[in-house]
């Protein structure tokens, strides 16, 4: 059974790219977007070259911050994401991410998930 195509993953990857500059400027490290092909044989390999993935089923990105903080996001074309975070101190877990209906909606979610993991970026604390 094929997963419904709710989200254009190329557009979602562009959303990540659009935000990466701001994240980098705030001191975060942004990994390459990884792609998973729906028809790749097991064990499935993640690719960083989009051209090697004719039928993408998901994209992923790892974002690292100070003090060991991190955010892992895997977006599935069916409209949900696996989102895990660790704030580097004592707060960690999964963030529910269902009913994502577009790349723009994914961007809105990213704008909430990043501060959840890394706090208010660009604002100094005294």
> Which residue pairs, CB below 8 angstroms and at least 24 apart, start in 117-121?
117/63, 117/65, 117/69, 117/70, 117/71, 117/85, 117/86, 117/87, 118/26, 118/28, 118/63, 118/65, 118/66, 118/69, 118/71, 118/87, 119/87, 121/22, 121/23, 121/26, 121/27, 121/28
Percentage of residues in the chain with pLDDT exceeding 90?
75
**Per-residue pLDDT, 126:** 39
Pairing of strands 92-95, 34-37: unpaired
Q: Distance between CA atoms of 3 and 46, rounded to whole angstroms?
A: 18
**Per-residue pLDDT, 123:** 54
Q: Structural domain boundaries of the chain?
A: 9-72+84-117
To the question of pTM greater than 0.85 for the whole model, the response is yes
**Per-residue pLDDT, 109:** 97
Q: How confident is the model at residue 124 (pLDDT cuts 50, 70, 90)?
A: very low
């Amino acid at each position: 059974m094929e997963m419904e195509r709710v989200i254009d993953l190329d557009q979602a990857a562009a959303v990540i790219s659009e935000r990466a500059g701001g994240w980098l400027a705030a001191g975060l490290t942004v990994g390459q977007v990884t792609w998973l092909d729906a028809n790749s044989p097991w064990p499935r390999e993640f690719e960083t070259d989009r051209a090697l993935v004719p039928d993408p089923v998901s994209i992923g990105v790892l974002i690292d911050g100070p003090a060991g903080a991190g955010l892992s996001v895997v977006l599935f074309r069916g409209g949900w994401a696996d989102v895990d975070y660790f704030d580097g101190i004592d707060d960690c877990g999964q963030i529910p991410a269902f009913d994502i209906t577009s790349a723009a909606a994914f961007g809105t979610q990213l704008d909430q998930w990043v501060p959840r993991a890394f706090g208010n970026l660009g604002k100094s604390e005294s």
